[in-house]
Structure 1
Amino acid sequence: MKKTLYLSVVLFIAYTSIAFSQSYQRLGQGVKTITQSIAIEVQFYSPQIVRVLKQPQGNVLKKESLAVIKKPQQTQVDISAQHDTVTLKSSAVEVKLNLKTGGVSFVSAVSGVPLFTEKDYGTQFTHVKDGNEASFDVRQAFILDKDEVIYGLGQQPNGKLNQRGQKVYLRNENTRVCIPFFQSVKGYGIYWDSYAPTTFTDNIQETAFDSEVGNCADYYFMYGGGADGVVTQMRDLTGQAPMMPLWVYGYNQSRERYKTQFELVDVVKRYRALKVPLDGIVQDWQYWGKDDNWNAMSFDATTYPKPQLMVDSVHLLHAHLFIVSWPGFAPKTPQFQEFKQKNMLINFDTWPPGANTRPYDVYNPEARDIYWGYLNKGIFSLGPDAWWLDSTEPDHINIRDKDFDQPTFLGTFRSVQNAFPLAHTKGVYEHQRDESATKRVVLLTRSAFAGQQRYSANTWSGDIRSDWPTFKKQIPNALNFSMTGLPYWNADIGGFFAGNWNRGGGINNPEFKELYARWLQFGAFTPMMRSHGTDIPREIYQFGKRGDQIFDVVEKFINLRYSILPYIYSTAWNVTHNSGSIMRPLYAGFGQDKQGYEVNTEYLFGKSFLVMPVTDKGVKSQDVYLPAGTKWYDFWTGEIAEGGKNIERATPIDILPLYVQAGSIIPWGPKVQYANEKKWDNLTIRVYPGADGEFTLYEDQNDNYNYEKGVYATIDFAWNDKERTLTINEQKGAFPGMITKRKFNLIIVKPNHGTGIETTSPDKTINYNGRDIKVKF
């Protein structure tokens, strides 16, 4: 029987007493008190970030967060008390702690507007067993405004953008990325710092996090004023996202699976022969041989007889290679034997079924060292460019209740389960960085947790079905993931499980062709453009040849992706340098336009593009909402429309509804077969008039970590709409091989004037040598 410890009245003698009120102790940049048998600490980490920590009185807790890496920074906090309320105030946030109830509430220090509040007596600790140890079920309830819209929780495949009215069990599994974080249209975010399975509930009575085990209620309130500001605070709290190499933003081809090294290299050769751009090729599982040798981190001698030749051949073709690695090992592997001997396996079944594979203890630093030792010797020493870390939840099959009682380095598996992908990616990222600074770490992962952005992880949406309803859900999946603070997300273009289409002709099924074409259009406007799946191969030549409709559509959008690489790479720099985001809901760019708050069918790509994927079969047109407050250009025609209304856009198979915000400045790259083929010494700059605008073009050495030492360059562009003047500022910074003289082909986009990927004559061409220049139109 569970015993519940509620907030019940307990008086105590504190360090200083006031006869008519409860007492508290000042603690650095915060306070602590004991109220209703609960020890409470409220502490400012910055003017915008506040930590609230509650635990049963008498508990001795020294918690080191797995996700939070920020230490409290020096912050001016004014603390005062009146009656039974302690008020703590920074320049941004005012916190009120009720000494009678233990409730905490938050107010904007600037406007005085209430932001967020705990529910009265909303903290509950229920005695439970966690394996053989005493623990608590920990629950904290809050009260939100009736019509308040919230985003986040990682990736929940419920098809919803607004997560109000949901009850979600947050436990990582394939296709579900579970992160106990949400942010509100009121401009704040909440991170619940627990790694145990947690139930998030929102109903008309309350909003609550309820973790199955834990020793404390521990959450962080962060105020950012808007979507981008909250993401900035979450990154400040949990870590910044490093730059990925330029090539990874190109087109990446995969399949479940290439079965020999010759097959894999041949795919790259065929793309080069077709002159269709390609930058990445992915080697999926079983390159190690049979399942009893699962994840041996070595190549089977029959199917991959010369792995070094394979890697070198890919590189000679100017492409890059992902290699898959799993967290589980079959008993036949030396890794399994060493981990078993050192008691570093978690004893439950993971993929594949029947092979008796076990995951290693990712929470153990020594185990992570051992894992990398094998990965480095068997694979990384050959020179691949990126890792596909599959099953990072991990897969858990033949589930038994006692599996969650399994011990790990940090406690039971239950207590740290959701942080598995965070710990696993940490090991690979940090070890590769220690091994080499010349090759940026790239991790493609199937799951994530708060803070994982700091390990250069790009998470895909899992092994999803290849159908229209699943495709439609990928948009809110991506946006909620991004609003949780993790900027890099992608999905298997065409969906993973495509076997249902084989009954209708497979690759020749007209509906599958349509679905794939539409999905690839969406993929061109995600942080990683990657085609992958089982049952039906997806390489472009599977769809015929030039002149065949779907081949032409696929080629068109791959080329479009490469045309906007300077825009994408500069947006990636904004992610790293300014805590920005790549995929953003309409609210992120237009916080005053409430009509856009719950739109889950379109999104912003960076700060300039509005994208509306076609996610229904056979549609001839789509109703597109254009946010208020600006004008919008149809990317394909140049037609201008006022924001704040819906417009009908025709959607032939080769058109994705795509709009550009007035005031945008878009750099347009050269036609290439791979990202690094040509320097950006002859760029087209497209200006979309109708509002003032600015853009920063970012360039570096495209790989390595020299940019962290300031080895990069930027060029700021500014458009003055009233004066019709484009200012190109002095180039700042420097790096080896930097372009010092170049041409800019300037186009002022005109209404009803084609602006797609067809050639458009520039209005002016200028020579730029790195110095300020103003161009009048």
Structure 2
Amino acid sequence: MRQICTLIFIFTTVLIQAQTVKGFKQYADKVVITMPEGILSIQPLTDNSVRIRLSANPEVNVPELVLTSKVPSPGFKVSDSPSKLEVKGKKIIVRLDKQSGALSFEDNSGNIFLSEKAGTRILKPGSVRGEPCYIAGQSFESPDDEYIFGLGQFQDGHYNLRGVSRRLTQVNSQISIPFIYSGKGYGLLWHQYGLTDFNPADNFVPLEKQEQPAVKTQAADVTTTAGTQRRAQSQSTYTGKFSVPEDGEYSVFLDLGDMGNRHYVVIDGNACIDQTNMWLPPTAGALVELKAGEHQVQVVCKADNTPKISWKLKDDLTTFRSPHAKLLDYIVFAGSADEVIASYRNLSGNVPMFPLWAYGFWQCRERYTSGSHLVETVKEFRKRNLPLDVIVQDWQYWGNRGWGVPQFDETNYANPEGFIKEIH
């Protein structure tokens, strides 16, 4: 009997020593837990959503630019045991494993739909251009049959984002939204206002610029402060070698350093990224099957781009990482796509509906060049009995007045009141 008691005492002591939870306190709207890496907050927001925050400083203050609605805190219960701490809402349960420190999320039927990968939570000091900040990151387990959608408007052509590397930046033709929805029945908003890497590829390939341009100098339309102008552009070729440790599917990531007009990456003679247009974002990713061993890579881009290539083995994880953060912050939503979006809208504010006239066909192109161009286009639609409700001028209506000046150029847009009245 004495031996049994001794074993129980030893086991309990080891369990306590291994725990990552130093203590917790329950408030009316959240549970705050003291962890070795900082203060962890579990805050139910609605019946099917919960906010997770980890900060090194309990006094950290970040303005609420997304979750602007004042939604009453839902009811929740807290259950504590030696091995776990649970925060139970009406439709979502958050479980903290006290030994690993990882969180998992269940629906009200007890099905785990999302789990943090133990040991992947990141909140460490960093700096950007001399400004102190934190690097925040988290990886979540992703089974091989998961489909992940979202992240905004990209040109890379990917539908299922599982394993794809993306850099979430706002540039012309690219709209980044750090929100995903999973076929496993959950949504996740990575609540960071700055740059975020999705499934970052951290193995970089040394590239060497070749002496001769890959393509002869060509004339192309480029954007200037005076409008579109014809300019000579040349392209350069970079080559490199890299080795991968095993056969498998790899994520390859191209970073040009600035917007470009060509994304072209060739591995072992096969193009894995191939896009050409005037409005390409700085980055693009692809999934490629590679054999273990050495591989040759070639990049063709504008001569003034400074390309980087990196790679990672596709794994069973979904990872977010932000290099300029104040804290780790994300929101998990449980349910169908409709339920998730409804909850998101409830928290961020309902979007007002367009006026009735705006629900018809919008005619839009890169731009129209004059008032008569607009008028004649509308007349042609009417002549062909094609429905048209809105026509978009877009940019460069200002001529030589300066970039973005909200005034029509008299040379090409004489009598604005007259041609707009004629359009109507």
Q: What's the secondary structure of 1:120's corresponding residue? A: coil
1:70, 1:248 → 2: CA distance?
27
Residue 131 of structure 1 deviates from its aligned partner by 3.1
Which of 320, 344, 356 in structure 2 is aligned with 1:209? 320
Contact residue 20 and residue 98 of structure 2 kept, 8 A:
no
Map 1:85-484 onto structure 2 (within 5 A).
85-109=84-108, 111-201=109-199, 203-224=314-335, 226-290=336-400, 293-315=402-424
Contact residue 139 and residue 320 of structure 2 kept, 8 A:
yes
- The letter of the residue matching 2:81 is Q
1:37, 1:252 → 2: CA distance?
52
Q: What's the secondary structure of 1:232's corresponding residue? A: helix
Contact residue 223 and residue 233 of structure 1 kept, 8 A:
no
Contact residue 21 and residue 33 of structure 2 kept, 8 A:
no
Residue 140 of structure 1 deviates from its aligned partner by 1.2
> Is residue 40 from structure 1 mapped to residue 40 from structure 2 by the alignment?
yes
1:256, 1:29 → 2: CA distance?
49
2:36, 2:384 → 1: CA distance?
72
Contact residue 96 and residue 103 of structure 2 kept, 8 A:
yes
1:207, 1:234 → 2: CA distance?
21
Q: What's the secondary structure of 1:122's corresponding residue? A: coil
- The letter of the residue matching 2:89 is S
* 1:49 alignment partner in structure 2: 49
Cα 1:229–1:304 shift into 2, 3 Å: same
Residue 90 of structure 1 deviates from its aligned partner by 1.4
Q: What's the secondary structure of 2:119's corresponding residue? A: strand
Residue 265 of structure 1 deviates from its aligned partner by 1.7
- The letter of the residue matching 1:293 is G
* 1:79 alignment partner in structure 2: 78
Residue 130 of structure 1 deviates from its aligned partner by 2.5
Residue 270 of structure 1 deviates from its aligned partner by 3.1
Residue 100 of structure 1 deviates from its aligned partner by 4.3
Contact residue 48 and residue 93 of structure 1 kept, 8 A:
yes
2:37, 2:362 → 1: CA distance?
56
Contact residue 154 and residue 178 of structure 1 kept, 8 A:
yes
Contact residue 196 and residue 211 of structure 1 kept, 8 A:
yes
Contact residue 126 and residue 132 of structure 2 kept, 8 A:
yes
Map 1:320-719 onto structure 2 (within 5 A).
none
Q: What's the secondary structure of 2:380's corresponding residue? A: helix
1:142, 1:223 → 2: CA distance?
15
* 1:680 alignment partner in structure 2: none
1:287, 1:72 → 2: CA distance?
43
1:196, 1:21 → 2: CA distance?
30
Residue 49 of structure 1 deviates from its aligned partner by 0.9
1:50, 1:242 → 2: CA distance?
25
Q: What's the secondary structure of 2:60's corresponding residue? A: coil
Contact residue 130 and residue 213 of structure 1 kept, 8 A:
yes
Q: What's the secondary structure of 2:116's corresponding residue? A: strand
1:293, 1:133 → 2: CA distance?
33
Cα 1:21–1:152 shift into 2, 3 Å: closer
Cα 1:164–1:252 shift into 2, 3 Å: same
Map 1:3-14 onto structure 2 (within 5 A).
none
RMSD: 2.3
| 4+ residue segments displaced more than 6 Å | none
- The letter of the residue matching 1:218 is D
1:40, 1:100 → 2: CA distance?
15
Deviations along 1:464-488, one digit per CA (max 9) or x if unpaired, are xxxxxxxxxxxxxxxxxxxxxxxxx
Q: What's the secondary structure of 1:278's corresponding residue? A: coil
Deviations along 1:105-158, one digit per CA (max 9) or x if unpaired, are 11112x111111111122112322223321112111111223222111112333
- Considering Cα pairs closer than 8 Å and 6+ residues apart, tell me whether 1 or 2 has the greater RCO: 2
Contact residue 36 and residue 101 of structure 1 kept, 8 A:
no
Q: What's the secondary structure of 1:229's corresponding residue? A: helix
Deviations along 1:233-263, one digit per CA (max 9) or x if unpaired, are 2222222222112332222223443332223
Residue 50 of structure 1 deviates from its aligned partner by 0.2
Contact residue 87 and residue 97 of structure 1 kept, 8 A:
yes
Contact residue 22 and residue 36 of structure 2 kept, 8 A:
no
Contact residue 135 and residue 325 of structure 2 kept, 8 A:
yes
- The letter of the residue matching 1:107 is E
Q: What's the secondary structure of 1:119's corresponding residue? A: coil
Q: What's the secondary structure of 1:308's corresponding residue? A: helix
Contact residue 96 and residue 104 of structure 1 kept, 8 A:
yes
Q: What's the secondary structure of 1:298's corresponding residue? A: coil
TM-score, normalised by the number of residues in structure 2: 0.64
Q: What's the secondary structure of 1:45's corresponding residue? A: strand
Contact residue 40 and residue 55 of structure 1 kept, 8 A:
yes
Structure with greater helix share of residues = 1
- The letter of the residue matching 1:125 is L
- The letter of the residue matching 2:334 is Y
Structure 1 alignment gaps of length 5 or more: 1-18, 316-777
Contact residue 125 and residue 136 of structure 1 kept, 8 A:
yes
Residue 59 of structure 1 deviates from its aligned partner by 5.1
Residue 267 of structure 1 deviates from its aligned partner by 2.2
Q: What's the secondary structure of 2:194's corresponding residue? A: coil
1:51, 1:72 → 2: CA distance?
13
1:314, 1:281 → 2: CA distance?
9
Cα 1:286–1:53 shift into 2, 3 Å: same
Cα 1:305–1:82 shift into 2, 3 Å: same
TM-score, normalised by the number of residues in structure 1: 0.36
1:29, 1:129 → 2: CA distance?
32
Contact residue 22 and residue 99 of structure 1 kept, 8 A:
no
1:175, 1:44 → 2: CA distance?
35
Structure with greater strand share of residues = 2
Contact residue 199 and residue 209 of structure 1 kept, 8 A:
yes
Residue 96 of structure 1 deviates from its aligned partner by 1.0
1:284, 1:78 → 2: CA distance?
53
* 1:31 alignment partner in structure 2: 31
Deviations along 1:372-423, one digit per CA (max 9) or x if unpaired, are xxxxxxxxxxxxxxxxxxxxxxxxxxxxxxxxxxxxxxxxxxxxxxxxxxxx
Contact residue 143 and residue 316 of structure 2 kept, 8 A:
no
2:126, 2:136 → 1: CA distance?
10
Deviations along 1:497-529, one digit per CA (max 9) or x if unpaired, are xxxxxxxxxxxxxxxxxxxxxxxxxxxxxxxxx
Residue 189 of structure 1 deviates from its aligned partner by 0.6
Residue 20 of structure 1 deviates from its aligned partner by 12
Contact residue 42 and residue 52 of structure 1 kept, 8 A:
yes
Cα 1:199–1:21 shift into 2, 3 Å: closer
